[in-house]
Structure 1
Amino acid sequence: MIEWVMYIGLGAMLGTVGGLFGIGGGLIAIPALGVLFGLDQQLAQGTALVMVVPNVLLALWRYHQRNRIELRHALPLAVCSFVFAWFGSIWAVGIDAQAMRMGFVAFLVVLAAWNVARMFMRSAAPSPELRYGWPWLAVLGSFSGSMGGLFGVGGAVVATPVLTSLFGTTQVVAQGLSLALAAPSTTVTLLTYGWHHTVDWHMGLPLAVGGLMSISWGVKLAHALPEKALRSLFCGFLIVCAVMLACKL
């Protein structure tokens, strides 16, 4: 019982972060489960996905309520993400756990460096409209889905900075579209990890309960923060996650 209360509390914290950044909470749940509970990389990713899937679905609905997500933009992202996440997750379950963890740290460092560099680049004012149409959205969905399936983060963490920088959209719109991309990819990735017995359901289910209780607060906070503040927090968040995992190597 005490363990469940602890897991629900952790899930509530992760759910708030997931709603704030539009990523479902998996990005910080994975290093947290590895560092605090000693789970190997695949088991941490699979267990985190139990929380991430319902969090992503609820966050997607909340974002859509506050800032309507265009189906013509979301559909190519979602379809391509689903297909390539499946391939990525099949690949992931067969990789050595230590090599996977090193790859995940490198993945976070690259993302953090890119996000920090973007803060010093001159760019046009963000807009709710995208600069590029569906063929490029399909490419983004394919790449993000592959990374999401491989690392268990749904691909949203890849898609969000690309949408804000290359596609020129606002941070909030980017996070909403990224959640549309992440919803199918996280679902198929969880099914693949579960099929290969790399999920701790006893831990994952109370994490999911806690996440569902709090993720709406994160979404509300995301819409209240200034654009630059939200981007700065996202960069810091990536760096913290990379450091947490690097300490475990």
Structure 2
Amino acid sequence: MNFEIVLALLAVGLVAGMLGGLVGIGGGIVIVPALVYFMGYSQKMAQGTSLGILLLPVGILAVWQYHKAGELNMQAVWLVAAGFVVGGFLGSRIALSLPQDTVKKIFAAVLILTAFKMLFLDKKIKETAARNTAPVEAIEKKV
């Protein structure tokens, strides 16, 4: 790996880390497109590399900051992590069995749907979150 590639990969990690710490995004939204379009990785290679990054404790300092501020729900972390393990296994099996172009189109569709929901359905999301917050707070007080 030459120096320029090392710098480019460090820059991808820096941007993804900053956005991850700032707004909770990184892997799929930043790292995968950056590896595909700036580094020339295949879609599957970019997704695999992004998942490899997630398996390492790269976000530990950001998590610690949220924990210190009381903005971390450890029960949710473990539950989502357990689902992520199973879902990651199943999703990777499916992705690796599909043609490259199909995987890229699925990825793009997910990004478009996510952007649409965030842009146009925000009011419904806020209302649902407000309704769902009370039970979570009650559970946390019991623990």
TM-score when scaled to structure 2?
Answer: 0.73
Of structures 1 and 2, the one with the larger relative CO (CA 8 A, separation 6+) is 1
In the alignment, the residues of structure 2 paired with residue 27 and residue 123 of structure 1 have an alpha-carbon distance, to the nearest angstrom, of: 22
**1:21 matched residue in structure 2:** 23
Which of 27, 30, 33 does residue 31 from structure 1 map onto? Answer: 33
In the alignment, the residues of structure 2 paired with residue 97 and residue 122 of structure 1 have an alpha-carbon distance, to the nearest angstrom, of: 33
1:124 Cα deviation (Å)?
Answer: 4.4
In the alignment, the residues of structure 2 paired with residue 132 and residue 113 of structure 1 have an alpha-carbon distance, to the nearest angstrom, of: 28
Contact 2:12 2:34 in 1 (8 A): no
Q: 1:123 to 1:99 in 2, by over 3 A?
A: closer
1:71 Cα deviation (Å)?
Answer: 3.0
In the alignment, the residues of structure 1 paired with residue 97 and residue 34 of structure 2 have an alpha-carbon distance, to the nearest angstrom, of: 22
1:110 Cα deviation (Å)?
Answer: 0.7
Secondary structure of the residue aligned to 1:55 is coil
**2:48 matched residue in structure 1:** 46
| Runs (5+) with no aligned partner, structure 1 | 134-249
**2:139 matched residue in structure 1:** none
1:95 Cα deviation (Å)?
Answer: 1.5
| Runs (5+) with no aligned partner, structure 2 | 137-143
**1:99 matched residue in structure 2:** 102
1:105 Cα deviation (Å)?
Answer: 0.5
Secondary structure of the residue aligned to 2:38 is helix
In the alignment, the residues of structure 1 paired with residue 41 and residue 31 of structure 2 have an alpha-carbon distance, to the nearest angstrom, of: 11
Q: 1:48 to 1:120 in 2, by over 3 A?
A: same
What RMSD over aligned residues (CA atoms) do the two structures have, in Å? 2.7
Matched-pair identity in %? 27
Q: 1:70 to 1:44 in 2, by over 3 A?
A: closer
In the alignment, the residues of structure 1 paired with residue 135 and residue 73 of structure 2 have an alpha-carbon distance, to the nearest angstrom, of: 14
1:53-202 to structure 2, matched below 5 A, reads 53=55, 54-121=57-124, 123-124=126-127, 130-131=133-134
Residue type matched to 2:120 in 1? A
TM-score when scaled to structure 1?
Answer: 0.45
Contact 1:18 1:24 in 2 (8 A): yes
Residue type matched to 1:37 in 2? M
Q: 1:77 to 1:130 in 2, by over 3 A?
A: farther
Residue type matched to 2:50 in 1? A
**1:216 matched residue in structure 2:** none
Question: Residue by residue, what CA displacement relative to the aligned partner does 1:75-120 show, whole Å, maximum 9, x if unpaired?
Answer: 3322223222221122222211110000110111111111112235
Residue type matched to 2:70 in 1? N
In the alignment, the residues of structure 2 paired with residue 2 and residue 122 of structure 1 have an alpha-carbon distance, to the nearest angstrom, of: 42
Q: 1:47 to 1:114 in 2, by over 3 A?
A: same
Q: 1:131 to 1:111 in 2, by over 3 A?
A: farther
